[in-house]
Amino acid sequence: MAYVAIADRDHEIEHHDPQTFITKYVWSQDHKVIAVQYGLTAIFVGVIALILSAMMRLQLGFPEDVHFVNPENYYQFITMHGMIMVIYLLTALFLGGFGNYLIPLMCGSRDMVFPYMNMLSYWVYLLSVLILLASFFVPGGSTGAGWTLYPPQAIMPGTPGVEWGIVLMLISLAVFIVAFTMGGLNYITTVLQARCRGMTLMRMPLSVWGIFTATVLGLLAFPALLVSAIMMLLDKTLMTSFFMPAVSSMGADPGYTGGSPILFQHLFWFFGHPEVYIVALPAFGIVSDLLSTHARKNIFGYRMMVWAIIAIGGLSFIVWAHHMYVSGMHPYFGFFFATTTLIIAVPTAIKVYNWVLTLWQGHIHLRTPMLFAIGFIFTFIHGGLTGLFLGNVTIDLPLSDTYFVVAHFHMVMGVSPILVVFGAIYHWFPKITGKMYNETLGKWHFWMTFLGTYAIYLPMHYLGFQGVPRRYFAMGNTDFLPASAQDLNAAITVSALFVAATQILFFVNVIWSLKSGKPAGSNPWKATSLEWQTPDTPPKHGNWGHDLPVCYRWAYDYSVPGYPDDFIPQNVPPDKAPAGREHGGDH
Amino acid sequence: MEFILLVLAVILAVFFGWLLKQSFNTRPWVAETVSETAHEAPLGANAKTIALSVLMAVMTSFFALVMSAYAERMELGDWVPLSEPALLWVNTGILVVASFAFQWTRQAAIDDRVARLLPGMALTGLLSFAFLAGQLLAWRELMADGLTLSGNPANAFFYFLTAVHGLHLLGGLVVWAMATARLAAGHGTVRVRRSIELCAVYWHFLLVVWLVIFGYLLST
C-alpha cells in the first residue's frame, strides 16, 4: 500500500539527513534544494539566451549601425537562443524545477522516491549545460544550424560551428536526455507511489497533473531526439549515411551515400511537437492553481481539466508533421495532420473556457502571481488562435518562412510559459524562502513585461503578412517590402530591449526580498493545497515533521458556502471543518 | 513511423485507460475520509517495479523509433538490403537460453532456494557475455566481407541496432554484477532477491526486443 511504503521509508529519510553544508546545499538529495539548483541553473542559461536575442534584435533593427554581429554569429545566436530557451530553460525549469519542488510537497510525501537518482539528474543536467556553453569557445564556435539542426546543412561545410559546435550540441542534447530520464522516472514513480493517505489521483492539484502528464510525454518523446542526435553524430564522425544524402560539397564528394534528410525531420518533430506540450502542460496546470487560489474559487470543471490535459498529451503525438508542410508530403497526409492539429484546439479551448469561468464572479485578488496568470490567458489565446491559421496547409505554406511563425510560436510557447514561470515564482517564493517579495516591484515587472511583449509580437504578425522572411540576417533592399517594414522592425527591437531590461526588476526583487523581505508566514495566500500546510516555512528536510499529512478533500475548497473561512486546507477532516456541512463544496 | 505509432498507441492506451478508470465516476469535490482499503497502492507494486516499467516503456519508445526510421528509410528506391550473418541465429539461441536461465534463477529467488541463486546468476552472466561476444564476432564477419558502417544505410542501421541493443544488455549486466557480488559476499537479503527478480524481467524484455529486431532484419 502506498502509505505503508512511505512509512517504510522513514528510516531511509533519517539515514540521508544532511549534516554538512556540502551535503545540505551542494550534493543535496533533498528535492527542494535540487529544485532550486535546477531553477537557478535554468534561469542562468535563460539569461544568456535572452542576451543572445537582444543582440539579434539589435542587428535586425539597426543593420546599418550595429557591427558586432556578423552573419555567422547571427545564425549561431539563433540556434543557441532557440535550443537554450526550449530545452535548457523551459523544460528544465518546469520539470526539474517546479516538478521537483511541487510534486512531493503537493502529494504529501517526504521526498522523491529515489533521492540519489534525483541528485544525479541535476548534476548530469548541469554537465549538459556546461557542454553546451563550452561550444561557444571551441574553434569555429557554436553551431549555427538553427535550433532544428536540419541535415544536411547542419554538418556540411559552410554552416558555422560545423567543426566542433554541432558535435558538442548533439552530445549535450544526449546528456540532457539522460538527465531528464532520471528525473522523469522519479516524478512518475513519486506521483504513482508516494502520495500521502487520502491523496487520490483526482484530489491532486492540477499543477501535479500537468507536470505528471508532461513527464510522460517527455519520457516517450525525448528518445526521438536521442535517436536523431546519435544518428547525426554518427553521420558527422563515422561517415554513416542515416540522414546525409549523396551530395557534393564545394566541388568535392564528402563520401555520403543515400541518407534521408526527411527522416531526420520526422524524428526531430516526433520529439519537437510533444516538446511544445512538455512545456505547456505544466504551465496549464500551474496557472489553474494560481487562478483558483487568487480568485478564491474552485477551479471550474476540475475533471474536465484533467481529461483535457490527458487528451492534449495523447493528441500531441499525432500532429508532428504539421511542422513539415513546406518539406512536402502527400496531400492526404497533409489533410490528416491538419485535422489532428485543429482537433487539439478542442481540449485546449475547454481549458481556456474553464480558466475564464473560474474567474467569473470570483473574488479576484490582483496580486502579482494572479496578474501573470491572467496575462497568460491573453497571450495563450493569442498564440493559440494564430496556431489555427498555421495548422492549415494552405495558409501555412505562404506564412511558414515569415515573421508570422516567429510571432506565433513566441507568443504560444515563449511568452505564455514564461509568464507562468514568473507567476509561479512569485506565488511560491514565500514558501521557498519564507520571505515575501515586493508587491510593487512585482506589479511593475508584470505590466512592463506583458505590454512590452505585445509591443514586440503584435507587429511581428503584421510583418509576417507582408512577407518579411524570417532567419534573414538583414533585409537589404527588397522590392516587395515597403521601407516602413524596416521602421517597424526597429520599433520591435526597441520594445525587445525594453522587455529584456525590465527583467532586472525581477532579479532586484528576488535578491532584495531574500535579504529584507517581510516574513511571509506559512500560508500567505490562504491556499488549500498541501505545500502550504507544512509545519515549517521554508519546509525542512523530510517536509512534514514527524507525521505525514492525511488528505481529506480536493485542493479547490475555496469559498465553500457555510464556512467562516474562504478556504479549507486539504488536510482538514470533514468532521473538523468549522460549521456543519458534511460534504465540503458539494454544490 | 508505423512502429512507433503502434507502440505509443499501446502504451498510451494502457496508461490513459488506467488513468480514466481512476478518475471516472469520482466526485473530487466531496470531502471524506478515504478508507484504508480504498487506497491500495495505485499499481499494487513497489517503487522499483514501477520505475523499471517506466524505464522499459522509454526503451520501447527508443527501439520503436529506430525501427520506424529503418522502415521509413527502406521505402526509398535505392535500398540495398543486407544479408545477416548466420551467426546471429546462434547468438539468438544463446540469448533465449540466458533468459531461461534468469527465469530459473528468479524462480529460485521467489522459492527461497538460496543455494541455486549464485550458480544461476553465474550461468546467466556467462550466457549474456557469450551473446555480446557473438555479436562482436558477427560484426567482424561483416567487416571482413567489406560491409562497413559507412558503406550504405542498411549496414549503418544494422550496426546501430545491434550496438544499442548490446549497450542496453551491458547496462543490465552492471546491475547483474552488483547483485552477483552481493550474493557472493553472502548477503542473501531481500534486496538482492528483489534485484534478481527485476533483472530477470529486464532480460526477458531485451530478449523480446532482440527477437523483434532480428525478425524484422531477416524479413527485409
List the Cα angle B51/B53/B54 in 5-degree steps. Answer: 65
Q: Which of left, alpha, beta for A112 (phi over 0: left; psi -120 to 50: alpha)?
A: beta
Q: Residue A298: which of B5, B22, B29 has the nearest Cβ?
A: B29
Q: For B106-147, give the DSSP string.
A: HHHHHHT-HHHHHHHHHHHHHHHHHHHHHHHHHHHHHHHTT-
% chain B with pLDDT above 90? 52
Which contacts (CB < 8 Å, 24+ apart) does range A137-140 have?
A138/A163, A138/A164, A138/A165, A138/A168, A139/A163, A139/A164, A140/A164, A140/A165
Chosen for mutation from B6, B10, B14, B30 (greatest number of chain A CBs closer than 10 Å) is: B30
| pLDDT value, residue B84 | 84
A572 φ, ψ (degrees, to nearest 5): -95, 120
pLDDT tens readout for residues B46-74:
888 999 999 999 999 999 999 999 998 88
> Which residues are bridge partners to A469 per DSSP?
A402
Asked if the C-beta of B115 comes within 8 angstroms of chain A's C-beta atoms, the answer is no
C-alpha cell at B113: 532456494
Asked if the C-beta of A440 comes within 8 angstroms of chain B's C-beta atoms, the answer is no
> Which residues are bridge partners to A558 per DSSP?
A567
A225 φ, ψ (degrees, to nearest 5): -70, -40
Residues of B in contact with A239 (CB under 8 A): 149-150
Query: Can you list the domains of chain B with their CATH numbers?
Result: 1-79 (no CATH), 83-220 (1.20.120.80)
Q: Residue A5: which of B15, B47, B66 has the nearest Cβ?
A: B47
Chosen for mutation from A192, A225, A232, A266 (greatest number of chain B CBs closer than 10 Å) is: A192
Q: Do A236 and A140 share a domain, yes or no?
A: no
Domain edge (last residue) among A517, A552, A568: A517
| pLDDT value, residue B35 | 64
* pLDDT of residue A517 exceeding 50: yes
* pLDDT of residue A583 exceeding 60: no
- Report residue A586's pLDDT band, with 50, 70 and 90 as the boundaries: very low
Question: Residue A41: inside a domain, yes or no?
Answer: yes
Asked if the C-beta of A111 comes within 8 angstroms of chain B's C-beta atoms, the answer is no
> What number of CA atoms fall less than 13 Å from residue A10's CA on the CB side?
9
Question: Residue A126: inside a domain, yes or no?
Answer: yes
- What is the rounded CA–CA span in Å between residue A102 and residue A211? 9
Q: Residue B40: which of A1, A181, A267 has the nearest Cβ?
A: A1
| pLDDT value, residue B36 | 56
Residue of A541, A501, A529 whose CA lies nearest to A50? A501
Average pLDDT, chain A: 91
**A2-16, B110-124, B182-196 — most confident range:** B110-124
| pLDDT value, residue A1 | 30
Q: Do A330 and A472 share a domain, yes or no?
A: no
Question: Residue A557: inside a domain, yes or no?
Answer: no
Pick the residue with more confidence: A461 or B81?
A461
Neighbours of A174 (CB within 10 A): 16
CA distances in angstroms from A494 to A90, A379, A474, A487, B205, listed in the order given = 25, 20, 17, 11, 57
Find how far residue A256's CA is from the centre of its chain: 37
C-alpha cell at A308: 483535457
B139 to chain A, closest Cα gap in Å: 16
Q: Do A385 and A236 share a domain, yes or no?
A: no
List the Cα angle A8/A13/A18 in 5-degree steps. Answer: 170
List the Cα angle A302/A303/A305 in 5-degree steps. Answer: 65
Find how far residue A362's CA is from the centre of its chain: 28
With beta carbons less than 8 A apart as the criterion, state whether B123 and B108 touch: no
Contact B58 A260 (CB under 8 A): no
Contact A310 B54 (CB under 8 A): no
- Report residue A14's pLDDT band, with 50, 70 and 90 as the boundaries: very low
Q: Do A157 and A72 share a domain, yes or no?
A: yes
- Report residue B21's pLDDT band, with 50, 70 and 90 as the boundaries: confident
- Report residue A268's pLDDT band, with 50, 70 and 90 as the boundaries: very high
- Report residue B109's pLDDT band, with 50, 70 and 90 as the boundaries: confident
Q: Do A208 and A107 share a domain, yes or no?
A: no
Beta-carbon pairs below 8 A across chains A and B: 188
With beta carbons less than 8 A apart as the criterion, state whether A456 and A492 touch: yes
Residue B119 one-letter amino acid: P
Asked if the C-beta of B6 comes within 8 angstroms of chain A's C-beta atoms, the answer is no
Contact A552 B20 (CB under 8 A): no
pLDDT tens readout for residues A526-579:
999 999 999 998 999 889 988 889 999 999 999 998 888 899 999 999 877 665
Looking at this predicted complex, what is its ipTM? 0.93
> Which residues are bridge partners to A249 per DSSP?
A252
Q: Where are the alpha helices (DSSP H) in A198-330?
A: 206-237, 261-295, 302-315
Residues of B in contact with A270 (CB under 8 A): 1, 4, 65
Mean pLDDT of A160-170: 95
Based on C-alpha coordinates, what's the Rg of chain B? 21
Question: Residue A522: inside a domain, yes or no?
Answer: no
DSSP tally for chain B: helices H, then strands E: 6, 0
C-alpha cell at A556: 479547490
- Report residue A16's pLDDT band, with 50, 70 and 90 as the boundaries: low
With beta carbons less than 8 A apart as the criterion, state whether A386 and A410 touch: no
Q: Do A173 and A210 share a domain, yes or no?
A: no
Residues of B in contact with A267 (CB under 8 A): 65, 69
| pLDDT value, residue A478 | 80
pLDDT tens readout for residues A289-317:
999 999 999 999 999 999 999 999 999 99
Only one residue has cell 543593420, namely A63
C-alpha cell at A374: 491572467
DSSP A143: -
C-alpha cell at B130: 557469450
In the three-class reduction of DSSP (H, G, I as helix; E, B as strand; rest coil), residue A454 is classed as: helix
- Report residue A106's pLDDT band, with 50, 70 and 90 as the boundaries: very high
| pLDDT value, residue B1 | 78
Q: Do A211 and A159 share a domain, yes or no?
A: no
Give the predicted TM-score (pTM) of the model.
0.93
Which domain covers residue A61, as residue numbers? 1-183
With beta carbons less than 8 A apart as the criterion, state whether A345 and A357 touch: no
Asked if the C-beta of A574 comes within 8 angstroms of chain B's C-beta atoms, the answer is yes
Q: Do A282 and A173 share a domain, yes or no?
A: no
In the three-class reduction of DSSP (H, G, I as helix; E, B as strand; rest coil), residue B38 is classed as: helix
Residues of A in contact with B43 (CB under 8 A): 192-193
Asked if the C-beta of A410 comes within 8 angstroms of chain B's C-beta atoms, the answer is no
Q: Do A21 and A134 share a domain, yes or no?
A: yes
Mean pLDDT of A264-274: 95
| pLDDT value, residue B190 | 72
pLDDT tens readout for residues A347-391:
999 999 999 999 999 999 999 999 999 999 999 999 999 999 999
| pLDDT value, residue A358 | 96
Q: Given CA atoms A293, A298, A302, A308 in this order, what sign does their dihedral have?
A: negative
Q: Residue A586: which of B26, B30, B34 has the nearest Cβ?
A: B30
Asked if the C-beta of B22 comes within 8 angstroms of chain A's C-beta atoms, the answer is yes
A314 to chain B, closest Cα gap in Å: 7
- Report residue B45's pLDDT band, with 50, 70 and 90 as the boundaries: low
Q: Residue A223: which of B65, B157, B160 has the nearest Cβ?
A: B65
- Report residue B188's pLDDT band, with 50, 70 and 90 as the boundaries: low
Question: Residue A351: inside a domain, yes or no?
Answer: no
Contact A231 B160 (CB under 8 A): yes
Q: Exposed, middle or buried: residue A458 (CB in 10 Å: 0-12, 13-18, 19+)?
A: middle
Question: Residue A194: inside a domain, yes or no?
Answer: no
B152 to chain A, closest Cα gap in Å: 6
Asked if the C-beta of A242 comes within 8 angstroms of chain B's C-beta atoms, the answer is yes
| pLDDT value, residue A579 | 54
| pLDDT value, residue A176 | 97
B123 to chain A, closest Cα gap in Å: 30
> What number of CA atoms fall less than 13 Å from residue A158's CA on the CB side?
8
Q: Do A20 and A163 share a domain, yes or no?
A: yes
Chosen for mutation from B2, B20, B58 (greatest number of chain A CBs closer than 10 Å) is: B58
Question: Residue A254: inside a domain, yes or no?
Answer: no
Between helix A206-237 and helix A165-193 the angle, nearest 10°, is 150
**A82-91, A244-253, A553-562 — most confident range:** A82-91
CB contacts under 8 A, B 60-89 vs A, are: 61-62, 65-66, 69, 72-73, 76, 78
Nearest CA in chain B to A241: B153
- What is the rounded CA–CA span in Å between residue A421 and residue A35? 14
- What is the rounded CA–CA span in Å between residue A578 and residue A313? 40
Domain edge (last residue) among A464, A488, A517: A517
| pLDDT value, residue A82 | 96
Q: Do A119 and A210 share a domain, yes or no?
A: no
Residues of B in contact with A184 (CB under 8 A): 54, 58
pLDDT tens readout for residues A429-442:
999 999 999 999 99
Domain count along chain A: 3
Find how far residue A454's CA is from the centre of its chain: 20
Q: Residue B28: which of A203, A239, A270 has the nearest Cβ?
A: A203
Mean pLDDT of A84-88: 96
Residue B193 one-letter amino acid: R
Question: Residue A66: inside a domain, yes or no?
Answer: yes
C-alpha cell at A202: 483526482
Contact A552 B32 (CB under 8 A): yes
Asked if the C-beta of A319 comes within 8 angstroms of chain B's C-beta atoms, the answer is no
Q: Where are the alpha helices (DSSP H) in A296-330?
A: 302-315
Q: Do A163 and A16 share a domain, yes or no?
A: yes
Find how far residue A300's CA is from the centre of its chain: 24
CB contacts under 8 A, A 37-76 vs B, are: none
* pLDDT of residue A2 exceeding 70: no
Q: Exposed, middle or buried: residue A303 (CB in 10 Å: 0-12, 13-18, 19+)?
A: middle
- What is the rounded CA–CA span in Å between residue A259 and residue A252? 18
C-alpha cell at A514: 531574500
- Report residue A443's pLDDT band, with 50, 70 and 90 as the boundaries: very high
- What is the rounded CA–CA span in Å between residue A409 and residue A416? 10
Mean pLDDT of A497-520: 96
